[in-house]
Amino acid sequence: MTLLHCLPVTRRLFCLLLVLLVCSANVAASLTLASGAKDNTVSPAESPSSTEWNLSASPHWYLQSTLAIASESDFGPALAFYYERPDQRTSLASLSAGRLFRTSLLGWPAEVVAYGGIQYYGERGFQADAIGATAYIKAYRQFRVGRRQFPLRIGLGEGLSYASRIPIVEVEDFLPDTSAKLTNYLEWTLQTSLNHLLGHGGRRFAPGIRDIYIGYSVFHRSTVFGLFASKGGGVNYMGLGIELVLD
């Protein structure tokens, strides 16, 4: 089964995600206006329409929201959008904030961001809902594809994930053993620029908001071959995400 088979659920999640985006954008714009108005243009050297940003001039803050549903598919197939529906479909809502702290990784230009996040696990009545938290480091690389130089932004994060209650989909996946509240965390994103899609060119998306990225996200909790629990295993949460890049 592909992710398209979950379109009704995904559509509802996307509507909720748009609400989160509007609220986040309003908060960011209000904070910026309170500290003083900024020019709404970007110099050619800083323009997001170039092949890559001048990372030394990149914004410092990142605000990301994700809505997803649990999948039985392994991490590799999930990267290729393959969705396998579990018996208990835990839903996930996540909000993360991060700050840029490096502009290169292993000698390559990259945005390296330190994030902290909070999550809400919706259990659909199978058990009590849970809350969670993540702390992770994520690296981004930007590419241009095709004659029209369509922008793609690939991100991979690594860190820790904690849930106040082990999600039901993980409970079922690990039977007869148990998973753990604290696990390893991987995050994969494939995004594109909303500025580019709307034809904004080199202009900022809004005062204080340099760009907004939308795309596909995989939220992965894993015990790393039994390092965090008595049994190895993991569960993916596949969904849609929006990220604001703030000045």
In the prediction, which pLDDT does 95 show? 96
* Residue 234 identity: G
Which CATH code fits 3-246?
2.40.160.20
Q: 176: cis peptide before it, omega within 30°?
A: yes
DSSP 45: G
Enumerate helices (H) and strands (E) in the chain, giving the number of each. 4, 8
Per-residue burial over 129-146, b = 16 or more CB atoms within 10 Å of its CB, e = otherwise = bbebbbebbbbbebeeee
Q: What is the pTM of this model?
A: 0.75
How far, in Å, CA of 192 to CA of 67, rounded?
17
CA distances from 239 to 46, 170, 214 (A): 30, 17, 11
Per the CB < 8 A criterion, the answer to whether 126 and 88 are in contact is yes
Q: Considering only CA atoms, which of 10, 22, 21 is closest in space to residue 92?
A: 10
Domain ranges for the chain, please list them. 3-246
Mean pLDDT split into 10-residue runs, the chain, 247 residues:
43 49 46 42 36 51 95 85 84 95 84 96 92 96 86 94 93 83 95 85 74 94 82 88 91
Q: Please name the helix (run of DSSP H) or strand (run of DSSP E) that holds residue 180, with its range, or none.
A: none
Q: 136 is written with which tokens?
A: 């992770």
